[in-house]
Structure 1
Amino acid sequence: MKGGYGGSSYSLATKRRWKGLVTAVLGLVFLSMLVSLVFLLGLHNGFLSSAGYATEQPSSATKHLRVYDQHSSADTRNESKRQQSAHVDDLIKRLVPPLPKNLGKNSVTEAENETDGLPIPADSPKLRQRRNNSGVAVTDDAGKDFRGADESEKLCELKYGSYCLWRRDHKEKMKDAVVKRMKDLLYVARAYYPSIAKLPAFDKLSHELKQNIQDFERVLSEATTDKDLPPQIEKKLTKMEAAIARAKSCPVDCNNVDKKLRQLVDLTEDEANFHRKQSAFLYQLAVQTMPKSLHCLSMRLTVEYFRSSLDLEQSLSEKVLNPELHHYVIFSRNLLASSVVINSTVQHTEESGKQVFHVLTDRENYFAMKFWFCINKYREATVQVLNIEDLKLNNHYKLAPLHLSLPEEFRVSFLRVDKLSSYQIKTEYLSIFSHSHYLLPKIFPTLKKVVVLDDDVLAQRDISDLWSLDMGGKVNGAVQFCTVKLGQLKKYLPRNSFSENSCAWMSGVNIIDLTRWREHNLTETFQRLVQEMSTEEGLSETTALSASMLTFRGLVYALDDSWMLSSLGLNYGHNEDALRTAAVLHFNGNMKPWLELGIPKYKSSWRKFLNLQNQFLSDCNVNP
């Protein structure tokens, strides 16, 4: 009995121990599954938040800067992860910093669609609107970034002139996009190929990359535009993109890829710098060369001059020598520009019979201008054309025949310190008398006063009031340009005493008192200054600027600013009120209104003083 009872008790105890162990194991398995499920559903955020811990959540900036690949689509996300508790959402809003306002445009490549989680292209209208609302970047429909436009325009204009602004406004839609895409892929493939080729395990990929590179090089050697590409080019693009994607996923040495990319970037930068310099040179060549249509016009008129039987040598002595009339002087080689100056001036005066225009040109354009102003009448005004080379005047700084020199334009740059003590380079444009202007008393010995007009101006109202001005003994009535002070031009005015706070003055519209000029011997003063500067430093481009500023020192009568609005050949920013109220518009700068590069919104004011129906203009296709 005892033995039977003891054996039964032992077996029961053993069963109880095994049952406890099984229960413990099952409990551990259940707990492990529960913990995994908690992390999988994201419920641990609530527990940690309630315990006083802040979890790392994606900020709004990270959300907008995140880049998705093709495999991170919305169907791979767990639906329960987006349905977190309100407590966790509130905590994130309190802890996550806002999007920085100074974030650059280049930092934003793709943004997540808030409705479906799909990526938005960086150039989409929706993303541009989002950037605009968030203060990141402001763009127009064409994708242009206007953030910091003023600074970039000034730097661009300082380095390459106004061509940068013209190029921006005339930028066309990118052509041959497929060819450019092929070049970009070839660029990346060449960067990865040397590193892939060193890995024996990727011989197949290396061979594929090499084959694609050779294939692209062969196609691009025969095709420069999209229409020249072979029909199967899309397949080649797909193969190249797939090979590059596989190469990017390989464990290559980043230093090798970086070195190759740097080499390619250096080559590309050198090529880009060459093309920028070439474009700047070609721009300067374009603005300084007479357009083909104007050259045709000059040649046609010259031929007609010698074929014509008109009396072109009619006597003008009575008016051209009468000092009581209003005499205007224009130095020009441009027939069309001179015609606009005269026509606009005559159209706005009530007494055109009192106006006499003296156009001084060179031998090359003399006959064309003489014929043009003979067959075209400007109400009752008188126009005299003079060949400056036939006046038997010697150049003032060397004994040689005088050649025509037009008003000279200078782009002056200097440092400016603003209120925040930061240095900036400031650029301004000045137009100054040339060497020919200082022979006015000798060219017109009987005249007492003249108004000198540049050939790139036009009158918008009667400028006859200039003749009644009392200049208080001054010689040159000019619009002062107080944005530039003589103290800022020290390097152009060597070793001379002058008032640093004196304003520079501009040519364009100048009332000249020839009587006072002769009394002060300004012609001789200018000649002496030019000779001294050319002896000490050699004749330079700034000689005329320096000598002009010093010659008229203390002899400039300041005209009211409303007389002339300058820089219409370089500044896009003039408002409509200033354009409408100015008595004279001055197109100083490179973008002259008769050039294709001229600023369109100003050219209309210039064109209305041309008779485009003229037979000679039509035959030469003159349509500025």
Structure 2
Amino acid sequence: MERKVHSARQRESMYWHLASHGLPKSLHCLCLKLAEEYAMNAAARSRLPSPRFVSRLSDPSLHHLVLLTDNVLAASVVISSTIKSSADPEKLVFHIVTDKKTYTPMHAWFAVNPVESAVVEVKGLHQYDWSREVNVGVKDMIDINQLIWKHYYDNLKEEDLEEASQQSLEALSPSNLSVLNYLCIYIPELFPDLNKVVFLDDDVVVQHDLSPLWGLDLNGKVVGAVVNSWCGDDCCPGRKYNDYINFSHPIISSNFASEADRCAWLYGMNIFDLEAWRRNNITKVYQQWLKLFFHRL
């Protein structure tokens, strides 16, 4: 009876989690209305950006920001707050990448509600003309990630359920099943003409001018990020690398043992040096580690 009660509570927690992370009805209805607007209203299908601003999409002197999202309202909040906080909004270029089902609502929203000063591009994944190698790489990456999670659940023992429940519920979030969740590693392929971009997650509200980020000297490094270090060098209020990576694995421990207790950097806002990314083959290295981990399960 205790096992049945425990199992019922686990299922209840999972259902509550999925319900809270699912698409709210109001947002779903908004997307349907915007899709209808796209079909019925020529203004909602107007080009984004307008032809006179197309050259700005690859202008290295401008400030390029990237969002990978299928949430229309979240993208609007990120962009409007960034523009409002900017000292020079005319230098801002926003690149929104979304999936096929959200492309028409996203396009319609920003076509009917154009932003002032800045440039906004909305592009669906189906509009990219990637090479076969990149297409295969994206498919393999998604398949491997899903198989890894399946292996994790299939081998989760009953005595581990209590300890792993929160991590398990986070893994069940619908966003983790979305292709957009894995595309960050392919940003250089998404924007082959750009050398430096700021990546913003769709759950942030920008409250300060971001212009100084493009002047940062990353000293040849690939990523500039905010770390959880506001409480001092000896404190880590957020998560550490060992919360994400199994450092008991012999390959990990032999190469990166000293990194286990370091604070993980925050994913909500990053600046990427795409030239350094391509020079160090970061995407290829990630794929190699992912396949290595999968084959050793």
TM interval, short-chain normalised: 0.7 to 0.9
Residue 270 of structure 1 and its aligned partner are, at CA, apart by 6.3
> Match of 1:389, as an amino acid?
H
Supply the RMSD in Å over aligned alpha carbons. Answer: 3.1
Aligned partner of residue 458 in structure 1, secondary structure = coil
Specify the alignment match of 1:164 in structure 2: none
Q: 2:215 aligns with which of 423, 448, 468?
A: 468
Q: 1:348 aligns with which of 85, 93, 103?
A: 85
Q: Aligned partners of 2:127 and 2:41: how far apart in 1?
A: 22
Kept after mapping to 1: 8 A contact 2:195/2:273? yes
Q: 2:114 aligns with which of 377, 393, 397?
A: 377
Identity over the aligned pairs, expressed in percent? 35
Q: 2:13 aligns with which of 272, 280, 299?
A: 280
Q: Aligned partners of 2:247 and 2:41: how far apart in 1?
A: 50
Specify the alignment match of 1:486 in structure 2: 241
Q: Aligned partners of 2:126 and 2:215: how far apart in 1?
A: 33
> Match of 1:301, as an amino acid?
L
With CA pairs under 8 Å and 6+ residues apart, which has the higher RCO, 1 or 2?
Answer: 2
Q: 1:298 aligns with which of 31, 48, 52?
A: 31
Aligned partner of residue 299 in structure 1, secondary structure = helix
Specify the alignment match of 1:437 in structure 2: 184
Deviations 1:532-564 (A, max 9, x none): 222222xxxxxxxxxxxxxxxxxxxxxxxxxxx
Q: Aligned partners of 2:76 and 2:292: how far apart in 1?
A: 38
Specify the alignment match of 1:187 in structure 2: none
Per the normalisation by structure 2, the TM-score is 0.74
Kept after mapping to 1: 8 A contact 2:141/2:287? no
Gaps of 5+ in 2: 146-162, 229-235
Aligned partner of residue 217 in structure 2, secondary structure = coil
> Match of 1:477, as an amino acid?
G
Q: 2:94 aligns with which of 357, 365, 370?
A: 357
Task: Note the 1:158-557 alignment, pairs <5 A.
Answer: 272-273=5-6, 275-310=8-43, 312-313=46-47, 314-315=50-51, 316-393=53-130, 394-395=134-135, 397=137, 434-481=181-228, 482=236, 483-486=238-241, 491=246, 494=249, 495-496=251-252, 497-498=255-256, 499-500=258-259, 501-537=261-297
Aligned partner of residue 530 in structure 1, secondary structure = helix
Q: Aligned partners of 2:141 and 2:283: how far apart in 1?
A: 17
Residue 382 of structure 1 and its aligned partner are, at CA, apart by 0.9
Aligned partner of residue 70 in structure 2, secondary structure = coil
> Match of 1:357, as an amino acid?
F
Per the normalisation by structure 1, the TM-score is 0.37
Residue 396 of structure 1 and its aligned partner are, at CA, apart by 5.4
**Count of matched residue positions in the alignment of Structure 1 and Structure 2:** 250
Structure 1 pair 461/489, CA: closer, same or farther in 2 (3 Å)? closer
Residue 373 of structure 1 and its aligned partner are, at CA, apart by 0.5
Structure 1 pair 398/460, CA: closer, same or farther in 2 (3 Å)? closer
Kept after mapping to 1: 8 A contact 2:75/2:202? yes
Kept after mapping to 1: 8 A contact 2:142/2:182? no
Structure 1 pair 445/281, CA: closer, same or farther in 2 (3 Å)? same
Structure 1 pair 533/516, CA: closer, same or farther in 2 (3 Å)? same
Q: Aligned partners of 1:297 and 1:489: how far apart in 2?
A: 36
Q: Aligned partners of 2:142 and 2:10: how far apart in 1?
A: 34
Kept after mapping to 1: 8 A contact 2:223/2:273? yes
Q: Aligned partners of 2:248 and 2:103: how far apart in 1?
A: 36
Q: Aligned partners of 1:296 and 1:355: how far apart in 2?
A: 30
Q: Aligned partners of 2:84 and 2:187: how far apart in 1?
A: 26
Larger fraction in helix: 2
Gaps of 5+ in 1: 1-265, 406-424, 538-624
Aligned partner of residue 194 in structure 2, secondary structure = coil
